[in-house]
Amino acid sequence: MNNENYMARATAELYKIFEALNIKYFDGELETPIITIQQSGKRLAYGWFTVGKVWRDKTGEKRKHEINISAEYLNREIKNIVATLQHELVHYYNIVNNIKDCSRGNTYHNTKFKEEAEKRGLSISYDSRIGWSITEPKEEFIKFINEEIRPDIESFSYFRAGEFIINTKGKDNDGENKGTGDDGETKKKKTSVRRYVCPECGMIVRATKIVNVICGDCNKKLVCDEDKDDEDKEEKVIVA
């Protein structure tokens, strides 16, 4: 692997950490999920776990849950990144074992989540908006990270800044066209961004031109819905 391919290094490191956590805290019972690094968007979350299996194989059958670690928070201490991954693995374990640990559109964490998480090296505190969700690693968990997992901290040297939308042509990382002003300097010009929504589950995608997009979870074509706010839609994810 190219040592400067930090996205690949960070993702590979997350899989390595998953394997260690799975063996130590879940008796190796969890099937390997798809682990991604994406921008959190309006969720403003350190990570999330998809309730359903949203990754399909080539036959179209749903096979894998997704766990995401938010790209703009990779600048946190390694103990906190690992604690977020562990938080999502607790959700994964609870889904597999039919333990309902969230309500209010999968945002409010109940005491069942707290109980299972604190069995597995996490300290969980309460927030009135999201319940028993605020996550900190316990000392024994930190010790396990440092002495047993020994993560490649350099893998997380970069983190994502700014917002992200689907780039279709000629856009910079902020999703805006660049034009040249009268002074000859590069200036930014906002583009028209379309908002597409799954009519069944409310998944949202933005694009800078007309696109045809299918929801991988519901197999429904997304429809352009530019007038409604994102917060009106419930997403099938559990966020941390």
Based on the fold, state whether residues 124 and 218 are members of the same structural domain: no
For residue 185, is it within any domain?
yes
For residue 120, is it within any domain?
yes
**CA nearest neighbour of 16 among 38, 35, 37:** 35
Q: How many CB atoms sit inside 10 A of residue 205's CB?
A: 15
pLDDT value for 3: 67
For residue 58, is it within any domain?
yes
pLDDT value for 225: 64
Per-residue pLDDT tens, the chain, 240 aa: give them. Answer: 566 789 999 999 999 999 999 999 999 999 999 999 998 876 679 999 999 999 999 999 999 999 999 999 999 999 999 999 999 999 999 999 999 999 988 889 999 999 999 999 999 999 999 999 999 999 999 999 999 999 999 999 999 875 434 333 333 222 222 222 233 333 334 446 777 777 776 677 778 777 788 877 677 787 886 544 443 333 467 667
pLDDT value for 56: 95
In the structure encoding, which two tokens stand for residue 91, read together?
A: 């959700």
For residue 161, is it within any domain?
no
3-state secondary structure of 55: strand
Give the CA dihedral 119, 66, 24, 136, nearest 10 degrees.
-50
Contact status, residue 83 vs residue 138, Cβ threshold 8 Å: no
pLDDT value for 169: 37
Based on the fold, state whether residues 80 and 39 are members of the same structural domain: yes
If one counts the domains in the chain, the total is 2
Q: Which domain holds residue 198?
A: 177-234
- What CATH number is given to the structural domain containing 38? 3.30.2010.10
Based on the fold, state whether residues 36 and 129 are members of the same structural domain: yes
